[in-house]
Amino acid sequence: MYIEFIATTIEDALIIEESGADRIELVSSLAEGGLTPSHALIEAVVNSVKIPVNVMVRPHSQSFCYSQKDLEIMKKDIRIIRSLGANGVVLGALNEKNEINRPYLEELLTVCEGLEITFHRAIDDTHAPVISAEMLAEYPQITTILTSGGHGDFPSRMKTIQQMKRVCGDIAILVGSGLNKDNILSIHSELHTGHYHFGTAVRKNNSIIEGVTLEKAKEIVNLLKK
């Protein structure tokens, strides 16, 4: 069982570690879906916790379709993130047809040596997440796919995740979006991916702008690891 919580501050990160979670996804601007955090925050978090820290690499929230200048910024951020001692990066890029932008992905991968790589929920915006997952399996550098199974109704998304599991090879399927203490056990019994990602479910008032609370974080860890 592998549990990842989102942190947006150093206080979040310290609480997440104390809760017994396995990994931190560090982002800024959670209200925009998560953007690249400041380098100072990355350094502070990495130096303050012992659990792995994976850092979002997303220069803006306009779309997952990036310009060449955006790409250069992402590559520079990745180099800095690696130099600061982070465990991994969380990234993704689509083209104008809402397909995975393979040339951009391959260019990003060239600067990710030594980092774990999660392809983020941009995959849910592709027309065929299962085909996209199969394509990502061609890249041994990619360790994880973060997904909610697309944008359909709940049963169809669960079916999509099952299909993604079958085609993605050794890549871990990290299930996220909408998970909480009330539904996680039933979702786990159906999917058995063993990798789960939580955001607002561990925050005060389930708010994207309030901080992680130890009580909520521990409750989910205890549910999944008892």
- Provide the residue-wise pLDDT of the chain in tens; the chain has 226 residues: 999 999 999 999 999 999 999 999 999 999 999 999 999 999 999 999 999 999 999 999 999 999 999 999 999 999 999 999 999 999 999 999 999 999 999 999 999 999 999 999 999 999 999 999 999 999 999 999 999 999 989 899 999 999 999 999 999 999 999 999 999 999 999 999 999 999 999 999 999 999 999 999 999 999 999 8
How far apart, in whole angstroms, are the C-alpha atoms of residue 93 and residue 65? 6
What pLDDT shows up at residue 226?
82
Nearest to 163 by CA among 135, 122, 119, 133: 133
d(CA 104, CA 131): 18
Q: What's the N-to-C CA distance of the chain in angstroms?
A: 10
| Domain residue extents for the chain | 2-225
Say yes or no: domain 2-225 is CATH 3.20.20.380. yes
Alpha carbon distance 71, 20 (integer Å):
35
Distance CA 116, CA 113 (A): 8
Cβ atoms of 8 and 30 within 8 Å: the answer is: yes
Q: Give the model's pLDDT for residue 137.
A: 98
Q: What is the pLDDT of residue 194?
A: 96
Contacts of 6 (CB under 8 A, 6+ apart): 12, 24, 25, 26, 27, 30, 34, 197, 198, 199
Taking phi first (over 0 means left), then psi (-120 to 50 degrees means alpha), and beta for anything else, what does residue 200 get? alpha
The structure's pTM equals 0.97
Nearest of 202, 218, 212 to residue 19 by alpha carbon: 218
Rg (CA), the chain: 16
What is the structure's pLDDT at 152?
87
Look at phi and psi of residue 166 and say left if phi exceeds 0, alpha if psi is from -120 to 50, else beta.
alpha
